[in-house]
Amino acid sequence: MKIVMKFGGVSVADGESMRNVGKIVERFRAEGNDVVVVTSAMFNVTNSLLDAATRAGKGQREHVLKFVEDTRARHIQSARTAMSDKNVLERTIQAVESKCDDLKNILLGIAHIGELTPRSKDFVVGFGERFSAPILQGVLEDQGMKAKALTGGEAGIITDDHFGWAEPLMNVTTLEVRQVIDPLVEKGVVPVVGGFIAATQDGTHTTLGRGGSDFTASIIGAAIRADEVWVWKDVEGLMTANPAIVKDARMIDRISFSEAMELAHFGAQVIHPKALESAGRFQLPFRVKSLSNADGPGTLIVKEVKVKDGNVVKAITNIDDVDLITVSGASMVGTPRLAARVLEILTDEDIDVLMISQSSSEESITLAIPKTDGSKAQNALELSLLGSKQVREVSIEAGLSILAVVGAGMRGTPGVAARVFGTMAANDVNIRAIAQGSSELNISFIIRKQDAPKAITALHADFKLGECA
Ligand code: ASP
Ligand code: MG
């Protein structure tokens, strides 16, 4: 098989973990597979680069200098732990050193001007992967493999110049990636591609958005027509519910891209939605594999999964700490643009709306917002809408959770909602708001946070999710 293996920040958090990555790669190559590696930055490095870039923009030179030296030390220390061959280690350290010097110059340049542009920010935050990929190359070489570290740009991922959220130009990218990666694989070399980073056609550095390494894996997998993309995680796979809440939660063997996307939206983000979306488009199977159980099959995510009889629900997921904001006013009736206006105000404030529902009398619009943004959302809406006569009040209620019941089998099966809400009634759980997408892939609703564990447990039991499918 041709497999793209993606390792996230946790799986390359230190030298020891990186060695383990080497063992996993070696093991599946020994079974006759061709492997292409995509790696994230070491755990938390991207966050600290982002912070350093911001401080550089404020002219904080001292912080920048200290940050670069800490970062240098961490990566070199990890390389030392991860490999023993002197020559390989020496070469790896040199690669890290020279990149550290580049980073220092860039950050000092930014601090000198005192301005951080989106373009320079993208350059800086991508350094995490510019460090981790060469170290992983060294690890693989140290374990007897041939390997080559590449940035996303070097691997052929060409994007537009929408910094911070660049879009790959798939036609050129597909051709370029194939031209770079295929010959390496044919020569028995393991390409180690730094995820998340890419470049425009003229070579300017870009990034694919936070968490973008999954997306890189999917782009490369599609280009080289991989059989599967394996995303290695510190979890077993996708679960029927949070195992910390539901004792008999089970690993899901197979799930469709659209179901996985619903789960990702409602709190169970194991794979980046952009990666799922593109993998779905290219019909590229994804597999969530467990770092602690490499033998296990994990969860396979594919285009379509046959729904077995009676198996309407696949998983139950929850987002805790949600605020409910209600925009109300009798004269909202017949003012169709208000919902659009409300969403526009929240988008401008960069606030994520988790769920929206509107009463049919059009007297109110209810929105679920992460608690961290609740009062910011309320303020923004009050400022913009209270003067408008249509709106009487913007109220907020805290201490809530969203529950989402997800499954493709719900489509066209009458009675699922009745069963869900019947179970809630039987368990004395009050429902504050409800939404169902017309895709019928999920029913989501809002309850008090303190009711969430009992609600999830009851639904899990009622839909028999603990029993083998
Ligand atoms: N290192 C990047 C981030 O932290 C990309 C990734 O890990 O997927 O966002
Ligand atoms: Mg991630």
On whether residue 358 sits in a domain, the answer given is: no
- In 3D, which of 44, 54, 61 has the Cα closest to residue 131? 44
pLDDT of residue 362: 66
- pTM as predicted: 0.91
Rounded to the nearest angstrom, the distance between the alpha carbon of 272 and the centre of ligand 2 is: 7
pLDDT of residue 373: 96
Ligand 1 atom closest to Cα of residue 209: 9
On whether residue 29 sits in a domain, the answer given is: yes
Q: Compute the distance between CA of residue 419 and CA of residue 430 in angstroms, rounded to an integer.
A: 15
Q: Is the distance from CB of 275 to CB of 200 less than 8 angstroms?
A: no
On whether residue 42 sits in a domain, the answer given is: yes
Structure tokens at 146: 């041939």
Q: Compute the distance between CA of residue 407 and CA of residue 307 in angstroms, rounded to an integer.
A: 9
Rounded to the nearest angstrom, the distance between the alpha carbon of 264 and the centre of ligand 2 is: 12
pLDDT of residue 430: 96
Q: Is the distance from CB of 233 to CB of 290 less than 8 angstroms?
A: yes
Q: Compute the distance between CA of residue 152 and CA of residue 435 in angstroms, rounded to an integer.
A: 39
Rounded to the nearest angstrom, the distance between the alpha carbon of 116 and the centre of ligand 1 is: 20
pLDDT of residue 308: 75
The angle formed by the CA atoms of residues 300, 139 and 131, to the nearest 5 degrees, is 90
Q: Which residues line ligand 1 (CB under 6 A)?
A: 8-9, 40-41, 46, 128, 195-196, 210-213
Name the closest ligand to CA 270: 2
Structural domain count of the chain? 1
Residues spanned by the domain of 95: 2-233
Q: 435 has which bridge partners?
A: 444
Query: Whose C-alpha lies nearest to ligand 1, atom 2?
Result: 211
Q: Compute the distance between CA of residue 147 and CA of residue 138 in angstroms, rounded to an integer.
A: 8
Q: 128 has which bridge partners?
A: none
Ligand 1 atom closest to Cα of residue 129: 1
Residue carrying structure tokens 């070399």:
189
Give 45-77 pLDDT, tens digit per residue: 999 999 999 999 999 999 999 999 999 999 999
Strands 315-328 and 364-370, bridge-based pairing: antiparallel
On whether residue 81 sits in a domain, the answer given is: yes
On whether residue 365 sits in a domain, the answer given is: no
Q: Is the distance from CB of 274 to CB of 212 less than 8 angstroms?
A: yes
CATH code for the domain in which residue 73 is found: 3.40.1160.10
Phi, psi torsion values for 432, nearest 5 degrees = -95, -30
Q: Compute the distance between CA of residue 462 and CA of residue 469 in angstroms, rounded to an integer.
A: 14
Which element (helix H / strand E) includes 5? strand 2-7
Each of the 469 residues of the chain gets a pLDDT tens digit; together they read 999 999 999 999 999 999 999 999 999 999 999 999 999 999 999 999 999 999 999 999 999 999 999 999 999 999 999 999 999 999 999 999 999 999 999 999 999 999 999 999 999 999 999 999 999 999 999 999 999 999 999 999 999 999 999 999 999 999 999 999 999 999 999 999 999 999 999 999 999 999 999 999 999 999 999 999 999 998 888 999 999 999 999 999 999 999 999 998 887 778 999 999 999 999 999 999 999 999 999 999 999 888 777 788 999 999 999 999 999 886 666 666 788 889 999 999 989 999 988 877 767 899 999 999 999 999 999 999 998 777 889 999 999 999 999 999 888 888 999 999 999 999 999 999 998 877 789 999 999 999 999 999 999 999 999 987 6
Sign of torsion over alpha carbons 169, 172, 174, 177: negative
Ligand 1 atom closest to Cα of residue 196: 5
On whether residue 418 sits in a domain, the answer given is: no
Q: Is the distance from CB of 199 to CB of 155 less than 8 angstroms?
A: no
Rounded to the nearest angstrom, the distance between the alpha carbon of 439 and the centre of ligand 1 is: 30
Give 323-351 pLDDT, tens digit per residue: 999 998 866 666 667 888 899 999 999 89
Phi, psi torsion values for 368, nearest 5 degrees = -100, 130
Ligand 1 atom closest to Cα of residue 212: 8
Helices (H), 283-362: 337-348
On whether residue 430 sits in a domain, the answer given is: no
Q: Is the distance from CB of 45 to CB of 73 less than 8 angstroms?
A: no
Q: Compute the distance between CA of residue 207 and CA of residue 389 in angstroms, rounded to an integer.
A: 43
Rounded to the nearest angstrom, the distance between the alpha carbon of 211 and the centre of ligand 1 is: 4
- In 3D, which of 437, 457, 137 has the Cα closest to residue 316? 457
What are the counts of helices (DSSP H) followed by strands (DSSP E) for the chain? 15, 17
Q: Is the distance from CB of 95 to CB of 148 less than 8 angstroms?
A: no
Q: Is the distance from CB of 9 to CB of 212 less than 8 angstroms?
A: no
Q: Compute the distance between CA of residue 266 and CA of residue 337 in angstroms, rounded to an integer.
A: 27
On whether residue 439 sits in a domain, the answer given is: no
Name the closest ligand to CA 46: 1
